[in-house]
Amino acid sequence: MTQIYEMHLWGGKDYDFYSGEGSHHRDIIKPYLEAVTSFLASHNNKLTVCDLGCGDFNIGKQLVEFTESFIAIDIVENLIERNKALFKADNLEFHCLDISRDELPKADCIILRQVLQHLSNNEIKSIVEKLSNYKYIILTEHLPIGQFTANKDVISGQGIRKKINSGVDLLATPFNLKIKKDILLNEIILETNKGIIKTVLYELF
């Protein structure tokens, strides 16, 4: 991931760190933020939120005020140090962790926004094993439109499974996440043949 940012493989050559169009394009992020803030604001007692793969924090910075506390995590150390310097709030903290290997902080709600799509199945399985500790998961994935084969394995990196007509489905084999219910929060159909960005809320037992 460090190399992806250093080489600007997701674009944004004018930025020090850039997490891609999916974190910056207004038509993608505006409806996402409306849906997620509506969910967070629906609780009388604000939730503690843990953002796994916070990236350049262009999304997360707009959610902090709706939470009791916001814990932002990424694997890229220089990115986390940069975020610490740029974004300040009494209820905000940043940590550099490998979410597939390290112990994760306690929270009410996990945000996983276009993160799993870049990881191998083994890494995803390791993360899924930890998700039962949380009440809510807000999962966003970039998927093909129409029929596709879920969870084809890939090598971790900048690309996603859409190129092989696949996408991450945590409820399907080999992940088999057990949930109480799921709610579609938001979906954005991208321009011709670029797929769909889908955000689903999972409530766990």
pLDDT in tens, 37-49: 999 999 999 999 9
The pLDDT of residue 64: 98
The pLDDT of residue 8: 83
The pLDDT of residue 108: 98
C-alpha triplet 137, 171, 98: angle, nearest 5° = 55
DSSP secondary structure string for all residues of 62-121: GTGGGSSEEEEEES-HHHHHHHHHH---TTEEEEE--TTTSPPPP-SEEEEES-GGGS-H
The pLDDT of residue 2: 82
Contact 65, 95 (CB under 8 A): no
Task: Enter the pTM of the model.
Answer: 0.94
Q: Which helix (H) or strand (E) holds 27?
A: helix 26-41
The pLDDT of residue 29: 97
Q: Compute the distance between CA of residue 153 and CA of residue 164 in angstroms, rounded to an integer.
A: 10
The pLDDT of residue 116: 98
Residues of the chain with pLDDT under 70: none
Q: If we measure between CA atoms, which residue out of 197, 124, 156 comes closest to residue 2?
A: 156
Q: Compute the distance between CA of residue 73 and CA of residue 70 in angstroms, rounded to an integer.
A: 10
The pLDDT of residue 115: 97
The pLDDT of residue 7: 87
The pLDDT of residue 114: 96
What fold is seen in the domain 30-203? Answer: Rossmann fold (3.40.50)
